[in-house]
Copies of this chain bind each other. A is one copy, B any other.
Amino acid sequence: MFGVTGCKGGKKLFCKLTDNRSTTLTKKQQAIEDREYELLVIAKALVVEEGFANLTMDKIAAASPYSKGTIYNHFTSKEDVISALGSQALLHEISLFRRAQTYDGLSREKVVAMHVAYHLFARIEPILSMCVLTSRTPWVIEKTSPERLAYINRLEEELVAITDAIFARGLSSHDLTLPEGMTTDSIIFANWSMAFGSNALINNAANSSCVARILQSQSILMNINIMLDGMGWLPLSSEHDYQQVWQHIEEDIFSDEVAYIATLKR
C-alpha cells in the first residue's frame, strides 16, 4: 500500500520527504531534489535487502541510473547518506505529529497522540528509525556535511515547536500545572528522552535478549503514563483509560498507518 516507491494516488501521504515546503523551487532545483529522493529510496531499499554493513556507494550508483560522481554531488560521504535518511525520518515524523495534533480530545490525550505517532513511525519505517539513531552517533556525525547537520537541526526545532504547542495547550487548559522549578522546555526534554530511549531500546530488542525479556506490548504507553502522571497532567492514568485512548487515536487518526503495519506482519 505504501511501498518504497508507491504513493497513494499522488496524495503524498508518506512521501513528503523533501524540504520544499516554504520556498518555491526552480524546475532544475526541483529535479535535483527529486533525484536526491530517488537516490534515498534506493539506499533504503539496499539497506533493507543487505543491511547497513553492506551498503556501498558503488551499489547505490549501480542501482540508480546515475554515476558515482553524481551520487557525490548529493552526498559528501557514505555517512552523509545515512544522515540524509535520518532527515527523511524527521520530515515524516513532523507530518505525523501535525496529524496527531488534530486529534480531538483532552490536552493529555493529544500528548498521547504524539507518542502514538512516534511509535507508529518506528514500526512503519524501521530502517529510517534506525537511521535516526545511527545519525546521532559520532561515527556518522563526524562525516556528515555541515549543511545537512544544520538541516537536521532545523527539522528538530520544528518538531519541538509542534510539541511546544501541545504542551502550551495543557497549561492554558489547566490540565497541567508546571511543578516548581519546571519549565516547558524541561517537559519537552522529558518527553523526548522517554520517547527516544524507549524507542532506541525497543529497536534493539532483536539484538538484546535482555531488552526483549523486559518488553511487553504496552510498555511504551506505560512509560508515557508514568511520566505524565509524574507531571500531574490531568486526567491521571488512574482516572482515565489511556489504553482505550491509544486505540481511538489509532483508529481515528492513523487508521491507514495501522492497516499498513498489519500488512507488514504477514
Cross-interface CB contact of A197 among B195, B207, B218, B228, cutoff 8 Å: B195
Known A185-B216, A189-B215, A196-B197: A134·B141 in contact at CB below 8 Å: no
Tell me how many residues of A have a C-beta within 8 Å of chain B.
63
Give the contact stretch, choosing among A35-43, A167-175, A198-206. A198-206
The minimal Cβ–Cβ distance linking A226 to chain B, given in whole angstroms, is 4
This chain: how many copies in the complex? 2
Q: Identify the A interface with B (CB < 8 A).
A: 51-53, 79, 82, 130, 133-134, 136-143, 149, 152-153, 156-157, 160, 179, 181-183, 185-186, 188-190, 192-198, 200-201, 204, 207-211, 213-216, 218-219, 222-223, 225-231, 237-238
Q: Add 4 more A-B contacts to A139-B140, A186-B214 (CB < 8 A).
A: A179-B237, A186-B219, A193-B194, A194-B227
Our pick among B51, B138, B190, B201 for the contact of A192 (Cβ within 8 Å) is: B201
CB-contact partner of A230 in B156, B195, B208, B228, under 8 A: B228
A78 to B: closest C-beta gap in Å = 10
Which B residues lie within 8 Å of A223 (CB)?
Answer: 186, 189-190, 193-194
Contacts A53-B142, A142-B51, A208-B156 given; does A214 touch B188 at CB 8 Å? yes
State how many angstroms separate the Cβ of A195 from the closest Cβ of chain B: 7
Set of chain B residues within 8 Å of A156, measured between Cβ atoms: 208, 210-211
In the complex the two chains form, is B134's CB within 8 Å of A139's CB?
yes
Closest to A143 in B: B53
Query: Which 7 interchain pairs have the tightest Cβ spacing?
Result: A197-B197, A230-B230, A193-B197, A226-B230, A53-B142, A229-B230, A156-B210
